Amino acid sequence: RSSVKEKARRRVREFDVGDKFSHLPLPKASVLLPLMVREGKLHLLLTVRSMQLRRSPGEVCFPGGKTEAVDKDEIDTALREAKEEVGLQPEEVEVICRLVPGIDKMNHLVTPVVGFIEDTFQATPNPAEVSDVFVVPLEYFVQPVNYKALPYENSSGYLCWMHCFTYHDHEHNMSFKIWGLTAHFAVFLALIIFGKRPTFEVDYDLDNLFSSSENNFMNLYASLYKRKKSNL
């Protein structure tokens, strides 16, 4: 178990971007990618947004949300939100690093924070925000049973392909649809840790994963910035 954790820890740290993108003039948000080792395999904890929420009700996501004035950095935001949403105490998370951010449909700069939690963690979902909590083997995001790519127009107006996974969770006897930025972050984390080619297409140069992920992000940001300027 410790060797699985140690290997993952080592690989993920190589992709740490620190606060490299924190200066970008976009509203900020963070998500926690909670990794755990269960039966010798890495798993990710995910949540389902409450149906009471105005934005994206019922969608699968990682614990997270918008940056608030009390937060020192993106890590603080992710930990505070995880505590509010699923009762995960900050001291129960071994934070590993921050990965290349994404841009959501509201044009927030979303930073993924990777951390290890114990597999004994019992979530206490805040019903106002979270209706369900479940775990998925990380390997599912490179070797899925049920996958499709959906066409969509990104925040810069370009047609792109979005990962969409359907995962059947035997514990809940329910199927969950994981797509959008959540799927994007999960795939990237799985590519980093397993270092193998997925069974579907990805828009990275897999031999230069770190630089191509940064380039993809900067291209997205540049096209968004250009579009913003042309709208002024």
- Averages of pLDDT over each 10 residues, the chain, 232 residues: 90 97 96 97 95 79 96 98 97 98 93 97 94 97 96 76 95 93 97 96 95 95 76 55
pLDDT in tens, 167-207: 999 988 999 999 999 999 999 999 999 999 999 999 999 99
CATH number of 4-231: 3.90.79.10
What is the predicted pLDDT for the residue at 156? 64
What are the structural domain ranges in the chain? Answer: 4-231
Residues 143, 181, 64: CA angle, nearest 5 degrees = 115
Q: What is the DSSP string of 91-151?
A: GG-EEEEE---EE-TT--EEEEEEEE--TT------TTTEEEEEEEEGGGGTS-SSEEEEE
Q: Is the pTM of this model over 0.85?
A: yes
